[in-house]
Amino acid sequence: MPIQVARSSMPDFEEYLAEIRPLWENHWLTNNGEKALALEAALQAYLDIPHVVLFSNGHLALEAAIRAMGITGEAITTPFTFASTTHALVRCGVKPVFADVRPGDLTLDASQMERLITERTTAIVPVHVYGNFCDVDAIGRIAQKHGLTVLYDAAHAFGATHAGQSPAAYGDAAMYSFHATKVFHTIEGGAISCASDALADALRLERNFGITGPEDTVSVGGNAKMNEFQAAMGLCNLRHLEGEIAKRRHVCSLYRARLAGVPGIRFLPTPDQDNCAYLPVLFEGYRRTRDEVFARLAAQDIYARKYFYPLTSAFACYAGQFDPAATPVALAASQNVLTLPLYADLADADVQRICDLVLA
Ligand code: T4K
């Protein structure tokens, strides 16, 4: 069996069956059904925030938030991320302005932001990449000073905490991905958390065609609703979140025991409160390059991934628009980073085999 970078955790089949059985009785499959409402309530409690608005996936949640928050003109953001963050801005007509990242954790470097702010800047869209929190205090201060909106891409950060708080505590809103590859998933899915009643209302309009009643449509919204089968999966997985993270933590500790401290191999700091979403390792002056390690593993049917290479600013679809060399720390990280296989049921022996191959 090949080993992939991720593998979806599944709840017990009978548990999921019990969760979806009522759908055969009530025939209500989507459009704010009882499972979706129950999941929103459970996530509000878990994240400790007044509003969680569910979406069919994280990317559409991000686009809906950009529109609902009135983000226009330019937004300061990171190129060291998945396509979604940059594409969402561009697809909503907002120009991404890329700031560099911090070498320590590869999140946006607040000290690089202020010089990029112009009169067209309306927002900062940082990413808690790999589940590592950004410099939330510094970003908050800059946003306040310049009157900017902060929308966190917390796609990787569900289940992580900082200073005892969930990602929902920071910025004006945060987006989570509940994709099948995530620590907590709803097959496909996503959500926005926010404290503002008005923003939550606007997000719901974005999610459902701007409809407020059978004969009332007040804005030009789209369709990005989470269906009941997705929400039922979320209700099951939420019950097992702690166990999921504990199993992932065990896998991470095995990797660290073998690879941390090896000259030329760098781990990012992992606070105790992290969610063990990814296992990024940087090969910096190691006797094999990142690409050589990647190829050695692939030759044995082990598929690590280069999250996030190339930088989004280097994507073919943006050719000529951005200069990846303008963010040298992000550029170097994209060339050196490899995210090793990490999932709850990855066997100890497989982790040892992966480490053997990296070290051989
Ligand atoms: N912002 C950030 C920072 C993000 O990283 C993402 C998504 C988003 C926004 C947007 O959120 P979503 O709209 O996706 O909710 C994967 C995920 O699809 C994507 O959610 C994630 N970030 C990204 C980092 O990784 P791919 O294109 O690398 O996925 P794929 O199909 O190559 O799958 C990777 C591995 O996962 C497979 O080799 C095996 C395993 N897998 C995959 C699927 C589809 C499973 O075990 N089960 C599955 O169902 O994007």
Task: Give the CATH number, domain containing residue 133.
Answer: 3.40.640.10
Judgement on whether residues 234 and 249 belong to the same structural domain of the protein: no
Q: Whose CA is nearest to atom 22 of ligand 1?
A: 82
> Is 312 domain-assigned?
no
Picking from 239, 254, 281, the residue at the C-terminal end of a domain is 239
The answer to whether the beta carbons of residues 167 and 49 sit under 8 Å apart is: no
Picking from 194, 219, 239, the residue at the C-terminal end of a domain is 239
Instruction: Tell me the CA–centroid distance for residue 69 and ligand 1, in Å.
Output: 26
Q: What's the pLDDT score for residue 270?
A: 85
Q: Whose CA is nearest to atom 19 of ligand 1?
A: 179
> Is 152 domain-assigned?
yes
Kindly give the number of the ligand 1 atom that is closest to the alpha carbon of 182: 20
Picking from 186, 215, 239, the residue at the C-terminal end of a domain is 239
Judgement on whether residues 252 and 142 belong to the same structural domain of the protein: no
**Within 6 Å (CB) of ligand 1, which residues are found?**
4-8, 57-59, 81-82, 84-85, 127, 153, 155-156, 177, 179-181, 190, 303, 307
Give per-residue pLDDT as tens, 275-294. 999 999 999 999 999 999 99
Kindly give the number of the ligand 1 atom that is closest to the alpha carbon of 88: 9
Would you call the peptide bond into 267 cis, given omega within 30 degrees of 0 as the criterion? no
Judgement on whether residues 128 and 247 belong to the same structural domain of the protein: no
> Is 344 domain-assigned?
yes
Judgement on whether residues 234 and 245 belong to the same structural domain of the protein: no
Structure tokens at 160: 């992580």
Q: What residue type is assigned to position 343 of the chain? A: Y
The answer to whether the beta carbons of residues 102 and 135 sit under 8 Å apart is: yes
Judgement on whether residues 132 and 156 belong to the same structural domain of the protein: yes
The answer to whether the beta carbons of residues 88 and 59 sit under 8 Å apart is: yes
Give per-residue pLDDT as tens, 32-68. 999 999 999 999 999 999 999 999 999 999 999 999 9
Instruction: Tell me the CA–centroid distance for residue 151 and ligand 1, in Å.
Output: 21
What's the number of domains the chain is made of? 2
Pocket mutation for ligand 1, best pick of 133, 177, 302, 339 (most atoms within 8 Å of C-beta): 177
CA distance linking residue 253 with residue 242, whole number of Å:
16
Q: What's the pLDDT score for residue 93?
A: 98
pLDDT mean values, one per 10 residues, the chain (360 residues): 97 98 98 97 98 98 98 98 98 98 97 97 98 97 98 98 97 98 98 98 98 97 98 98 98 97 95 92 97 98 98 98 98 98 98 97
Look up the domain containing 280 and give its range: 241-304+340-359
